[in-house]
Structure formats: structure tokens, C-alpha cells
Structure 1
Amino acid sequence: MNPAISRRKALKGTTAALVTVAVGASTSVAAAQDVSWTATSAFGVQWEMTSRIVSRLPVSARYGLPIPVGQVIVGATCPGYFIEQVRQMTDMVAVGGSGECTITIVDARGLTAHATVGLNFPPTPFPDTEIDFTITGTAAIIRPLPLPLPRNRGPMRISLDPEALMTMSGWAADGSVWGEGIQVSLAMNNGQDPLLVTMDIR
């Protein structure tokens, strides 16, 4: 077996630690932080939003042990004034959707790998008043799968790529679909640290 290929595959395996605590992992976790984005719909409408990992990320994992794939809880928040504008211009009273983003992983030896994270947000009603609107969903690694064991000890940096894509749908008060499958692109605003966590592979 080619050692270089083996190490790269092993590095990809450690990305699953983003979505679950590893078997035997430390209970220590990294603090959540807001990331701000500019969202642009397929119709050219733009608005600002923030995202946050609600369930925190582990900061350590065991070398050579399997890291099972699971989910983390994430939240996305839009300002109240934008939701009020949406309600005035459409019949939408709730919204949900799915999407994908990419994470980049760099291990202690400088090897780099990428993984795709799938996002799912269930239909969520808008608030009755003009307050910030938060929709809560889940995120999980969807590829590459299956994930091999982590092989490289040392610090591993996991960062969020600056672009993501969502597919959103809205619902009217009578339960009918208003605007199904609307494409929304997300661009991380400048001046932010994309680092999600530095994980110690022990």
C-alpha cells in the first residue's frame, strides 16, 4: 500500500469528528461562534444572515479508533426586518430547505483534505412580530463515505469554506407550497476566521 495515499485517506476519515464525538474522545468542546454571510437568491434578492453550530465540536479524538458519522445541530438567523419584507411581498408564513457546504482539513503533517457537509432545515414558521428569525437544522458529513480511521497524531485544523449553497422552499398559511426549490447562494463576509476547531488527534 502506498503510504502517502494511506495517510490522505486517513486524514479524510478524521473529518467525521465534526459531526460527532469520537469513540473515546475527550468531553472538552470548542466554543461556538457566529459566522456572517451574504445570501443571494436565484431572483437576485440579497440579505444578511448568520450561522452558528449549536451543539459544540470536540477538540480531541483518539488516534486509530473509528469515528462514527453523526449529526450536529446548526442554526441560521435572518434579521427581523427582512422577514417582515418577505411577509409583505409574499404569502409565505414558513420556510425550510437543504444545502451543502465544504470543510477543509489540514493535519499536523500539512496534508489537506476536503469533505462535503449536508444541511437540512425542517419547515419553520416565521415569528408573528418583526424579530430575528432563527431556523434550526442538522448537519452531517455526506461524502466521502465510508470514513477510514485517523492515522496522524497532532493538531488538525478544520475550517469552513467561504461559499455554500441552499435550496429553500416556502409555505403559505393554507399549507400550500409557495416557491419550491429556490436556489440561494451564500458567501462568507470578509474579515472572518473560517476556523471551526483545532482538534488534537492523540
Structure 2
Amino acid sequence: MFGPLTLIARDPLVLLLLALAVLGGLTLHNVAQALLARRLGDPAAAEAGFTSPEPPVHHSVVSLMLYLALGLALPRPVPLRLSGWRAVLTLLSGPLTLLLTALLLLLLQRLQQLMLSGFDPLGLALGRAAYGLTQHSVFFLLPLPSLDLGRALLFAGPAPLRRGLGLLQVAGPLLAYIFWLLLALSGGLSWATEPVWRGLGAVVGLLP
């Protein structure tokens, strides 16, 4: 198993805090996209409730279980009626939101170390959640139809690429989970995440 379910026996509190932080970050991913889409003239996501932070709007029980088992959480896709650069901007705001949330969690971890140094489970969960969201932000930039960059290319990419991605859509999110496992097993996901993670750490390191 690659997901946080492995923590259930030895660190159940860390598991709970970690899951809440990661799923909360992915909820913000959707809310940010829905708000930006509305700002750009597309109310479809707002009308479907995606501007609400309520977890059932953004996550299913199946996606939660797969996150716990495999470490990848795929929120429900935000519905869009935009086209061109507006669709691309809206979809790519998702990975950016995940990075900003990861940075916030690292800042909260630093605050915990200063003010609640005895509450180790919180600090551990914040650090793991920040890394998990950083991984998700990088992974969501793969050109797969169920991920942010892939959806952006479906909206605004060249016609041959859109046709190819359209064919891959038949596999649904299964393709994303396969790629996640392959990258996790090969170490490619960690390799791709490392420079981004170092950058976030450098920002936090600027604090006194």
C-alpha cells in the first residue's frame, strides 16, 4: 500500500489529521476553480455547488477509499462551459491552489513547532499533508484526461491531441490511478516532486 492507511495501527491520529488536511486541500482546489470559472463568466460549477466547501460535493466514498489505499485523491471534476484560454486558466488554477495550500500547511507546521512543540502528531500530519498536496499538484500536470492539464488540453489543445485524449476518456480515472502507481513504484513521482518541494522549503526557510 502507498496510501496513509498504513498508519492506522501505529498512528491513527496522524492518519485522521493527514486525511483531513489532504482532502481539505483538494476541496480548495475545486472551490478555486469554480470561483475563477464564475469570475470568467461560467456559472456552471457554482450552480452545481462546487463553490461550497462541503466534502460530499467534491469527494465520493470510493475516491476516499482509494486515497487511503493508494495515496491518490481525485476530487470530482469541476464542470466547465468555458473555452480557450479561460478554460486553461481555470483548470491550471487547481495545481497552483494545491501548492499554495501546501505552503500554508508548512507554515502551520513551523508555527506548531514554535507554540505546540509537544503535539507531534499535528506537526507530522501537517508535513505529510503538505508533501502529499505537492505530489498531487505535480501529478495533476500530466496530460491525462481526468487531470487538470489533460482537461485543459481537451478544451484548448490542437485537434489531434483532443481526439487522442477523447479516446483515453473511456478509461475514466482508472488511467490516472495506473500512472500514479507506475510513477510511485518507479520513483518518478518523488523525482518530479523534489524540486518543487525544495522550493517550498526554501520559502519557509526565509522565516526567522
TM-score range, shorter chain: under 0.3
- TM-score, normalization: structure 1? 0.27
Greater strand fraction, Structure 1 or Structure 2: 1
Higher relative contact order (CA 8 A, sep 6+): 1
